[in-house]
């Protein structure tokens, strides 16, 4: 360690980017501290994001299966299934507590010092944490992101009527009607939770389709499936205001391109129109840094900013706002600081929407390939023709594989299936190794599994699926 610094590495933020970077830096022999202002470690993901939302998705799916009579055709009759929302929340909180406590244990095990408080830069090698100066040879910004506000709409999570994702993870009762503003990932996941527990769901989306950025075929099919599940989808519609009267939310909407105002009454409104990077109180100027036009801290492929001693990873930096991307950058940035070569392939980062069915993708969409003028082949295989999905009576969705027309190398894959999040890993790994669709088509896949649909979609790229 350079003698004149308190630490080799200080990480600001203990989300999946920051805590992973801190642990790897310590594993590499660097004296490391992590500053976190929250009461518990784990950032957005463990406290108010991935983990509590998945806990509620799992629990609400169990309730829905037990209460909807969906299991009767399999000979399983459940009488008198009841919702105990307090118990559901308690189990979710328990999972969060175990996982955030787990990060604290890992910090201790790896000798990472947790400095509790809020960090602001005082120079390129120093931050101030609640009045205390801390210096380091290298500083990693991993401050994540927060909910993007909707101008004119005031979120009050404690009030439980106009809420953001954090409030929607803790609603004390099931709203009769929940209006979701934004048909993106959070809207569909948390809309699914409350819909399964009995709420009527209306999604108001500014664009003409849900799930922006995903493959067009997937967006269309997903909309069909959510409508079948009872979601009201109001596309090409903008919210012009939300007010609260007599404990009801009054939502004013109009066509995105202008037109007559319509009023929707709801018991709760979830605002989820995206997230924005956390840089406000970082005092970046003191370190000689500026944010870009989108409020992000720019970094290069090594995750280094324009100030050599400062690095940036995760949601605060340009790229997909996903926990696993932040984690991989956390490992790579620590390795780069330690003089090794840390690399993240940003072209192959899978994304999963944890609804039922799940929606997963990796690599390019068909629209992106068209725009880039890349000649490609498509292989589609529906779960309706997959024996395991048929046996389970769970046939919504398909596998779509995109491969280069000339070389046959995989360019992207898009899956809707109850197991999509698990299936996509195989394709991400295959793409990382430069695999062709033929390689997948000639790999033996166990029968009967959903993964056979991946093999068949690869066979379809070559024009020769067996079961279709
Ligand atoms: P964060 O997790 O946001 O952590 C940053 C931390 O820095 C925070 O704890 C914050 O308190 C702290 N901090 C900020 N500024 C300072 C400061 N100046 N001083 C000290 N500490 C500071 N992603 C997935 O991949 N899968 C999912 O299933 C998924 N589900 C999600 C569900 C919801 C409801 C939400 C909101 C997000 C979800 N995400 C999911 C996104 C995921 O949570 C983020 O991409 C991920 O947490 C980003 O990690 P990060 O380390 O960059 O930042
Ligand atoms: P999002 O970007 O996924 O979706 C926001 C939606 O709101 C978009 O469809 C957008 O067109 C729409 N919108 C924007 N302004 C609007 C307006 N004024 N009126 C109506 N609609 C409007 O953002 P979301 O859902 O808030 O999630 C934020 C991020 O968190 C995601 O992009 C993702 O990176 C991460 N996340 C990931 C999850 C996962 O991996 N499973 C789960 C939840 C969140």
pLDDT digits (tens, 9 = 90+) for 137-182: 999 999 999 999 999 899 999 999 999 999 999 999 999 999 999 9
Question: Do 215 and 116 belong to one domain?
Answer: no
Closest atom, ligand 1, to C-alpha of 38: 11
Q: Which of 337, 363, 383 is the last residue of a domain?
A: 337
Nearest to 95 by CA among 158, 49, 64: 49
Is 184 a pocket residue for ligand 2 (Cβ < 6 Å)?
A: yes
Assign 14 a pLDDT band (cuts: 50, 70, 90): very high
In this structure, are residues 283 and 178 in contact, taking their beta carbons and an 8 Å threshold?
Answer: no
Nearest to 256 by CA among 208, 295, 223: 208
pLDDT of residue 361: 98
pLDDT tens for each residue of 197-210: 999 999 999 999 99
Name the E strands within 13-157: 32-36, 113-116, 119-123, 126-129, 132-141, 145-147
Q: Is the pLDDT of residue 330 over 60?
A: yes
Question: Do 49 and 80 belong to one domain?
Answer: yes
Q: Is residue 153 situated within a structural domain? A: no
With the most atoms of ligand 2 within 8 angstroms of its CB, the residue from 210, 273, 316 to mutate is 273
pLDDT of residue 142: 99
d(CA 85, CA 95): 16
pLDDT of residue 3: 66
d(CA 64, CA 61): 5
Rounded (10°) angle between helices 16-27 and 85-110: 30
Cα 82 to ligand 2 centroid, rounded to whole Å:
32
Question: Do 216 and 139 belong to one domain?
Answer: no
CATH number at residue 229: 3.50.50.60
Residues forming beta bridges with residue 379, ordered by sequence position: 401
Q: Is residue 344 situated within a structural domain? A: no
Question: Do 282 and 264 belong to one domain?
Answer: no
Q: Is residue 399 situated within a structural domain? A: yes
Question: Do 384 and 311 belong to one domain?
Answer: no
Question: Do 356 and 306 belong to one domain?
Answer: no
In this structure, are residues 213 and 368 in contact, taking their beta carbons and an 8 Å threshold?
Answer: no
Cα 205 to ligand 2 centroid, rounded to whole Å:
10
Proximal ligand: closest to the CA of 275: 2
Q: Is residue 178 situated within a structural domain? A: yes
Task: Check 177, 447, 450, 467 and give the catalytic one.
Answer: 447
d(CA 323, CA 148): 18
Binding pocket residue ranges, ligand 1, CB within 6 Å: 12-18, 35-38, 43-45, 49-50, 53, 118-119, 142-145, 165, 186, 278, 281-282, 314-315, 321-324, 326, 354
Question: Do 218 and 327 belong to one domain?
Answer: no
Cα 326 to ligand 1 centroid, rounded to whole Å:
9
Cα angle 173-68-93, degrees, rounded to a multiple of 5: 40
Nearest to 397 by CA among 373, 416, 410, 413: 416
Q: Is residue 84 situated within a structural domain? A: yes
Share of the chain above pLDDT 90, in %: 98
Ligand 2, atom 4, residue with closest C-alpha? 184
pLDDT of residue 312: 98
The more confidently predicted of residues 420 and 281 is: 420
Cα 39 to ligand 1 centroid, rounded to whole Å:
14
Closest atom, ligand 2, to C-alpha of 237: 20
Q: Is residue 343 situated within a structural domain? A: no
Helix (H/G/I), strand (E/B), else coil: 113: strand
pLDDT of residue 2: 54
d(CA 15, CA 18): 5
Question: Do 26 and 143 belong to one domain?
Answer: yes
Q: Which of 257, 273, 289 is the last residue of a domain?
A: 273
Q: Which of 242, 258, 273 is the last residue of a domain?
A: 273
Question: Do 265 and 299 belong to one domain?
Answer: no
Question: Do 268 and 280 belong to one domain?
Answer: no
Q: Which residues span the domain enclosing 55?
A: 2-147+276-337
Question: Do 314 and 372 belong to one domain?
Answer: no
CATH number at residue 451: 3.30.390.30
Is 189 a pocket residue for ligand 2 (Cβ < 6 Å)?
A: yes
Q: Is residue 154 situated within a structural domain? A: no
Q: Is 447 labeled as catalytic in the residue annotation?
A: yes
Cβ-based neighbour number of residue 445 at 10 Å: 17
Q: Please give the full DSSP string across 238-257, using - where no structure is assigned.
A: EEEEEEEETTEEEEEEEETT
Structure tokens at 277: 């990077």
With the most atoms of ligand 2 within 8 angstroms of its CB, the residue from 54, 186, 238, 253 to mutate is 186
d(CA 239, CA 317): 29
Domain count, the chain: 3
Mean per-residue pLDDT for 62-86?
96
- Cβ partners under 8 Å of residue 315, min gap 6: 15, 17, 44, 144, 145, 275, 277, 278, 321, 326
Q: Is residue 12 situated within a structural domain? A: yes
d(CA 451, CA 443): 11
Nearest to 136 by CA among 272, 254, 307: 307
Question: Do 259 and 396 belong to one domain?
Answer: no
Is 238 a pocket residue for ligand 2 (Cβ < 6 Å)?
A: yes
Helix (H/G/I), strand (E/B), else coil: 316: helix
Assign 467 a pLDDT band (cuts: 50, 70, 90): very high
pLDDT tens for each residue of 349-396: 999 999 999 999 999 999 999 999 999 999 999 999 999 999 999 999
In this structure, are residues 208 and 236 in contact, taking their beta carbons and an 8 Å threshold?
Answer: yes
pLDDT of residue 337: 98
Closest atom, ligand 2, to C-alpha of 354: 41
Cα angle 58-61-65, degrees, rounded to a multiple of 5: 145
Nearest to 179 by CA among 250, 274, 257, 228: 250
Which helix (H) or strand (E) covers residue 271, if one does? Answer: strand 268-271
């Amino acid at each position: 360690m350079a003698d004149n610094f308190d630490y080799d590495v200080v990480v600001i933020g203990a989300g999946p980017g920051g805590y992973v970077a801190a642990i790897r830096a310590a594993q590499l022999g660097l004296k490391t501290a992590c500053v976190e202002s929250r009461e518990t470690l784990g950032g957005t993901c463990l406290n108010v994001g991935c983990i509590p939302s998945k806990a509620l998705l799992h629990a609400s799916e169990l309730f829905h299966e037990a209460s909807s009579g969906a299991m009767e055709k399999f000979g399983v009759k459940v009488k008198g299934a009841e919702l105990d929302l307090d118990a559901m929340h308690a189990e979710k909180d328990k999972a969060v507590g175990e996982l955030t406590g787990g990060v604290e244990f890992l910090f201790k095990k790896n000798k990472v010092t947790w400095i509790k408080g809020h960090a602001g830069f005082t120079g390129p090698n120093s931050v101030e944490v609640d009045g205390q100066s801390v210096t380091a040879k290298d500083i990693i910004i991993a401050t994540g992101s927060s909910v993007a506000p909707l101008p004119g709409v005031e979120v009050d999570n404690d009030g439980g009527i106009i809420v953001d994702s954090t409030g929607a993870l803790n609603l004390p009762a099931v709203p009769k009607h929940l209006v979701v503003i934004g048909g993106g990932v959070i809207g569909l996941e948390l809309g699914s939770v409350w819909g399964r527990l009995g709420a009527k769901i209306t999604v108001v989306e500014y664009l003409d389709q849900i799930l922006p950025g995903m493959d067009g075929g997937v967006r269309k099919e997903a909309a069909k499936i959510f409508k079948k599940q009872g979601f009201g989808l109001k596309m090409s519609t903008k919210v012009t205001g939300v007010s609260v009267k007599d404990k009801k939310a009054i939502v004013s909407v109009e066509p995105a391109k202008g037109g007559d105002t319509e009023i929707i009454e709801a018991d709760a409104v979830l605002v989820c129109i995206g997230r924005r990077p956390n840089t406000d109180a970082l005092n970046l100027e003191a370190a000689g840094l500026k944010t870009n036009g989108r409020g992000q801290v720019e970094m290069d492929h090594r995750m280094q900013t324009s100030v050599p001693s400062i690095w940036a990873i995760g949601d605060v930096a340009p790229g997909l706002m996903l926990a696993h991307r932040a984690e991989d950058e956390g490992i790579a940035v620590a390795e780069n600081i330690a003089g090794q070569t840390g690399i993240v392939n940003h072209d192959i980062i899978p994304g999963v929407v944890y609804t039922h069915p799940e929606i997963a993708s990796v690599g390019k969409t068909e629209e992106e390939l068209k725009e880039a003028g890349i000649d490609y082949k498509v292989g589609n295989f529906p779960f309706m023709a997959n024996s395991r999905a048929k046996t389970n009576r769970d046939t919504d969705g398909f596998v779509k594989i995109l491969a280069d027309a000339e070389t046959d190398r995989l360019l992207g894959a898009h899956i809707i299936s109850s197991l999509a999040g698990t299936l996509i890993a195989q394709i991400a790994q295959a793409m990382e190794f430069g695999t062709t669709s033929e390689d997948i088509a000639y790999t033996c896949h166990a029968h009967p599994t959903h993964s056979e649909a991946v093999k068949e979609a690869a066979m379809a790229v070559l024009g020769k699926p067996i079961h279709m």
